[in-house]
Amino acid sequence: MLAGGFDGCKNRAMAKRTTVEVHQAEPCCAPVMTAPLQPEQAVDMAKMFKALGDPIRLRILSLIASSQDECCVCDLSSSFDLSAPTISYHLKVLREADLVDSDRRGTWVYYRPRTENLGRLSAILAVPGVPAVVGCS
């Protein structure tokens, strides 16, 4: 027996063991089912989410997306108590974020949603097994 109650014989026997049993614990959460965003995808998505960070732009996009096909800027202006230049600014931000497309016809501009990008936003926010909820409570 060595100093301090240390038994060298017992420890030598333990030191010869070369493998350690590891018991795998149950995973704490479900495995990731889709690949994470690539850096360039994250930049594009962040641009879209940033554009939707303003309540006015979110409402404008909601109006455009809920229209049958496209929405005239004159219809959008009548839905808000804002000046025409302010509405135009918000539409420009939505256009630059690739959330809407526009066409000028005479004096009016018509807007339609970029459904592929709205689908991308929806997909990234979707939680498997949780139904989508429309509206707020």
Cα 103 versus chain centre, distance? 28
Residue 60 domain-assigned? yes
Whole-number Å distance between alpha carbons of 99 and 61 = 8
Q: 135 in a domain, yes or no? A: no
Query: Is 13 among the domain residues?
Result: no
Residue 106 lies in a domain: yes
pTM: 0.68
Query: Can you tell me the distance from the alpha carbon of 106 to that of 94, in angstroms, rounded to the nearest whole number?
Result: 22
Number of domains composing the chain: 1
How far apart CA 87 and CA 90 sit, in angstroms, is 5
What confidence score (pLDDT) does residue 127 get? 74
**Beta-bridge partners for 100:** 113
Domain span at 116: 39-121
Burial of 90 (0-12, 13-18, 19+ CB in 10 A): buried
Which neighbouring-strand residues pair with 110? 72, 103
**Does residue 130 form part of some domain?**
no
- 65, part of any domain: yes
Residue recorded with tokens 């333990």: 14
For every one of its 137 residues, what pLDDT tens digit does the chain have, with 9 covering 90 and above? 555 665 655 555 555 656 656 566 666 665 555 677 788 988 999 999 999 999 999 999 999 999 888 998 888 888 899 998 999 999 999 999 999 999 999 999 999 999 999 999 988 887 777 776 666 55
CB neighbourhood size of 106 (10 A):
5
Tell me, yes or no, whether 68 lies in a domain.
yes
Q: What is the CATH number of the domain that holds 115?
A: 1.10.10.10
